[in-house]
């Protein structure tokens, strides 16, 4: 019986490690995945009572490393959820994992962040312009040809030439949401690519 207890303990340890890696998912979804794995282990190693430590070890070994398994589960689900929700937060969260693993991931994360930020600024400027016409715009700073720098935004107008005037409203309303959609598609496309290159596959 001591053997069965030790086996049970191994299963619980394994599942706890999987559970720890499932942050970001709802409790219900995480619990369901853990139960599915438990059911798998029972089938593989023999039901509790008849399983031995050796049979449990073999089953867990075939299943894969718990942290990798959890990471893969989260990655697959974040893409699916992000595709439905349009949420920049989910996409950035998904990319964040890959940014830690590769330079390509880091590049995509930074690019997506800048894309979303610009989309937000353009949209905000377009919406704010009617209420504060003098304080919202696109300014060119510096007068000489070799000193060219642009400022887009709101607040105290800088000393420079305002370029767009009221055009910022239609332009902002087109560029802002357009950039948002482009950034989202780019982020999802990259996530799917990273997923296909995911290392967890052969054991």
Q: Which is nearer to other proteins, 80 or 174 (CB)?
A: 80
- CB burial string 152-185: b at 16+ within 10 A, e below: beeeeeeebeeebeeebbeebeebbeebbeebbe
Please identify which residue in 5, 12, 43, 143 interacts with other proteins, judged by CB under 8 A. 43
Residue 33 in contact with other proteins, rule: CB under 8 A: yes
Q: Which is nearer to other proteins, 46 or 153 (CB)?
A: 46
Near other proteins in 124-183, by CB under 8 A? none
3-class state of residue 202 by DSSP: coil
Give least dist CB 117 to other proteins, A: 24
Residue 137 near residue 157, CB atoms below 8 Å: yes
Window of 101-109, 111-119, 145-153, 164-172 that interacts with other proteins by CB under 8 A: 101-109
Residue 202 in contact with other proteins, rule: CB under 8 A: yes
Residue 62 in contact with other proteins, rule: CB under 8 A: yes
Residue 98 in contact with other proteins, rule: CB under 8 A: no
In whole angstroms, what is the distance from residue 108 CA to residue 154 CA?
28
Q: DSSP string covering 47-102, please?
A: STTT--HHHHHHHHHHH--HHHHHHHHHHHHHHHHHHHH--HHHHHHHHHHHHTT-
Q: Which is nearer to other proteins, 135 or 193 (CB)?
A: 193
In whole angstroms, what is the distance from residue 185 CA to residue 163 CA?
30
Here the tokens at position 99 are 């940014």
Near other proteins in 70-89, by CB under 8 A? 72-73, 75-77, 79-81, 84
Per CB under 8 A, residues contacting other proteins are 32-33, 35-40, 42-44, 47, 62-64, 68-69, 72-73, 75-77, 79-81, 84, 102-104, 193, 196-198, 200-203
């Amino acid at each position: 019986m001591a053997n069965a207890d030790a086996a049970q303990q191994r299963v619980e340890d394994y599942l706890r490690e999987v559970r720890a890696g499932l942050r970001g998912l709802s409790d219900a979804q995480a619990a369901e995945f853990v139960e599915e794995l438990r059911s798998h282990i029972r089938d593989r190693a023999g039901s509790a009572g008849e399983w031995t430590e050796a049979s449990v070890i073999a089953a867990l070994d075939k299943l894969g490393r718990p942290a990798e398994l959890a990471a893969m589960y989260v990655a697959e689900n974040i893409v699916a959820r992000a595709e439905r929700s349009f949420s920049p937060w989910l996409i950035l969260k998904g990319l964040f994992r890959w940014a830690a693993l590769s330079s390509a991931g880091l590049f995509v994360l930074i690019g997506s962040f800048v894309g979303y930020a610009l989309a937000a600024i353009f949209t905000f400027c377009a919406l704010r312009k009617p209420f504060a016409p003098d304080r919202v715009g696109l300014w060119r700073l510096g007068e000489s040809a070799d000193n060219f720098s642009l400022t887009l935004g709101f607040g105290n107008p800088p000393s420079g030439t305002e370029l767009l005037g009221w055009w910022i409203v239609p332009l902002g309303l087109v560029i802002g949401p357009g950039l948002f959609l482009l950034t989202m598609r780019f982020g999802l496309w990259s996530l799917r690519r990273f997923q296909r290159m995911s290392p967890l596959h052969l054991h």
